[in-house]
Each structure stands twice: as structure tokens, then as C-alpha cells.
Amino acid sequence: MTATADPVTLMKQEVGKAAAALVKSGSIVGLGTGSTTAYTIQFLGDRLKSGELKDIVGIPTSFQSEVLAKKYGVPLTTLDAVDHIDIAIDGADEVDPQKNLIKGGGAAHTREKVVDYLAAQFIVVVDSGKLVDRLGSSFPVPVEVIPMAITPVTNAIKQLGGKPELRMGVKKAGPVITDQGNFVLDVRFDSIDDPVNLEKTLNNIPGVLENGIFVNCADLVLVGEVKDGQPLVREL
């Protein structure tokens, strides 16, 4: 950790590390995506290097987590080679008091949902700025759509009262392309009163692959905070 890190970076580092400290030797670990879990993967690599942690294998949720795992020396496997996942650690863009989540700020929610839901224990790592009273308060719902269906899916979402916007690339002309080769619609809703139903309704639109609402799946939410200049981690 650097002395010059800003408070949000400090919170992410601390909470990412705290979750990595919970991983036990011999575990199959779901490796989440994003700037917070990047610290988790780095710390898992540090623990492996020091010999304090042994014999873990990671299942990446994105090309990002795959690249980071290789960089930090975390061995990888695939879902074809294992019959369970012991623990998954992943970030989120919003967390409500019931531990429901919006994910997909990095367009990785489809693979994340597969891995996180399979894990015996799913730990969410967020900085305190991600906590909301109601999902959708500050972050739109990411919806992954196969490219040929983008127009009918956009229209169907508008019929539901959503305001969809095609996510555009940064340092890439045109839309963001997911790890599966699809587009992402970021959808704002005036209010998400029933996340359980909205998750299902969005996924029932033909052409939608997966959306970023995760309900009833987080076992533990760890929240990074900064108090009096000091980073700390608490449970939600």
C-alpha cells in the first residue's frame, strides 16, 4: 500500500486483501473482476509466494482476472475440470441492505454470475461508496445482449420503463464488446422495487444473455472504509 493512495483506493486495497486472507489452502477459488478484486488476486499471489497458502486453483470470471492471476502466480483451472467451487470473491457496483447486488461495471457480470452462484461461499468486496438503500439508486443495470438482437432488446427494455444506453468503448471505437463477443446496455430505472422479478424479466427478453442484478447469493459482504485517515474493514 502506498502512503499517497487516495481514500477509495485505500478502501479497495484493504477490503480486497481482507477477503484474500480468508482463503484456505487447497481451495478452489472463484476470482472476481474489477479494481477491488485485483487486490485480492495480488494478495493471493503474495500468500502463495510466501508459502503461507498452498495448493489453491483459481477460476477466472473474465480475461482481466485471468491476466492478473497469471501475473501474480495464481494457478488457474476451468469449470470443466472441477466439480465445485469453495469460495468466490467478487466486487460489486451497488449493494443494498439485503445484500442484493448490481454488478457488471466491467462488463463481466455473465461469467461472474456463473462462478459466484456456484461457490459454496460467495464473498463480496466493496468500498463504502457502493452501499445504497435501493438498487439502481446510482448505477444502471448492465444487460449483456447478443449483437443481432440489440434493437428489439432495446425496444423491449423501453417498454418495461427502462432507459437503455449502449455502452461505448474507451480507447476503442464503437461499443464495448464483452468477453463473449456481445454488447452491453446500461439501463436506468426510475426505481427498482422488486430486484428478484426484474432480474428474471430482463433475462426473459429473447437476445438477452444475462443482466447484472444478483439476488440472494452473497454470503458475506465486506466493506472497506476510511476512518480518521485509517482504512478498516467491516461486515455489512
Ligand X SMILES: O=C[C@H](O)[C@H](O)[C@H](O)COP(=O)(O)O
User: By the criterion CB under 6 A, which residues form the site for ligand X?
Assistant: 32-36, 90-93, 103-109, 112
Q: Judged by CB, which is closer to ligand X: 90, or 207?
A: 90
What lies within 8 Å, CB to CB, of 74 at 6+ separation is 29, 31, 41, 44, 45, 48, 56, 58, 68
Answer yes or no: is 219 a known binding residue. Answer: no
- Closest by Cα among 88, 75, 85, 77 to 31: 88
Q: Judged by CB, which is closer to ligand X: 93, or 199?
A: 93
Nearest distance in Å: CB 62, ligand X: 7
φ, ψ (nearest 5 deg) of residue 229: 80, -5
Answer yes or no: is 17 a known binding residue. Answer: no
Alpha carbons 91 and 160: distance in angstroms, whole number: 28
Answer yes or no: is 169 a known binding residue. Answer: no
Answer yes or no: is 90 a known binding residue. Answer: yes
Nearest distance in Å: CB 99, ligand X: 15
Q: Reply yes or no on whether 112 is catalytic.
A: yes
Nearest distance in Å: CB 124, ligand X: 9
Strands 183-188 and 141-145: antiparallel
Answer yes or no: is 99 a known binding residue. Answer: no
**Bridge partners, residue 29, by sequence:** 58, 87
What lies within 8 Å, CB to CB, of 90 at 6+ separation is 30, 32, 33, 34, 37, 61, 103, 112, 115, 116, 122, 123, 124, 125
- Closest by Cα among 95, 120, 104 to 30: 120
Alpha carbons 168 and 171: distance in angstroms, whole number: 10
Q: Choose the catalytic residue: 14, 112, 144, 199.
A: 112
Q: Judged by CB, which is closer to ligand X: 32, or 207?
A: 32
Which single residue brings its beta carbon nearest to ligand X?
A: 34
Nearest distance in Å: CB 76, ligand X: 18
Binding-site residue numbers are 33-36, 90-93, 103-106, 130
The binding site for substrate consists of 33-36, 90-93, 103-106, 130
Q: Which residues are catalytic?
A: 112
